[in-house]
């Protein structure tokens, strides 16, 4: 049966008719057509589906769209400024080449932004621990770790 869900996505109020079993990631990708949020493993391990909900990074394949009722959701599409200027964390991923194929990158960036808010100058160890829930099958993580450190410091500096 179709039910209504209302939430904010990237600052805009959104109402959608969904099936009760619709996952948040399905709403985001297939109804809102925001395909920057990826589905990798679909079993809550890889983190490619990470979005921000009320300021915290969550896995959108692991929750129902209905659980986001009234929530403030941000996806990778909402991170850059409207004029296209990259978010400091995105810029750091570009600068440090924190990606190869790029499939995991949106989830990496969304988790990294939330992490960096609490860790303005993180150690390598802290970054690696924070990446427990994000898998990358290309890079071996080295440049991702560098990018997140630089991005976190850039975010702190731009405050």
Smallest Cα–Cα separation from 48: which of 29, 61, 67, 64? 61
- 69 lies in the binding site for another protein (CB under 8 A): yes
- CA angle 149-150-156, nearest 5°? 95
Residue 81: CB minimum distance to another protein, A: 25
Contact 73, 51 (CB under 8 A): yes
Characterize the bridge pairing of strands 12-19 and 56-59: unpaired
Q: Within positions 92 to 121, which residues make up the interface with another protein, using CB under 8 A?
A: 111, 114-115
- Candidate segments 6-14, 72-80, 93-101, 127-135, binder of another protein by CB under 8 A: 127-135
Where on the chain is the footprint of another protein (CB under 8 A)? 1, 3, 19-21, 23, 42-45, 47, 50, 53, 56-59, 62-64, 66-67, 69, 111, 114-115, 130, 132-134
């Amino acid at each position: 049966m179709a039910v209504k869900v209302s939430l904010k996505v990237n600052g805009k109020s959104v109402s959608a008719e969904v099936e009760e079993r619709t996952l948040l990631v399905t709403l985001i990708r297939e109804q809102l057509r925001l395909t920057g949020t990826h589905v990798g493993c679909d079993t809550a391990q890889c983190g490619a589906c990470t979005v921000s909900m009320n300021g915290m990074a969550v896995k959108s394949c692991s929750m129902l769209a209905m659980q986001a009722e009234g929530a403030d959701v941000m996806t990778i599409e909402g991170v850059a400024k409207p004029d296209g200027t990259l978010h400091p964390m995105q810029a750091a991923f570009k600068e440090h080449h924190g990606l190869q194929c790029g499939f995991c990158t949106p989830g990496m960036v969304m988790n990294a932004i939330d992490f960096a808010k609490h860790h303005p100058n993180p150690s390598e160890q802290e970054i690696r621990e924070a990446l427990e829930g994000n898998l990358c099958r290309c890079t071996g993580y080295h440049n991702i770790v560098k990018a997140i450190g630089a991005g976190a410091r850039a975010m702190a500096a731009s405050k």
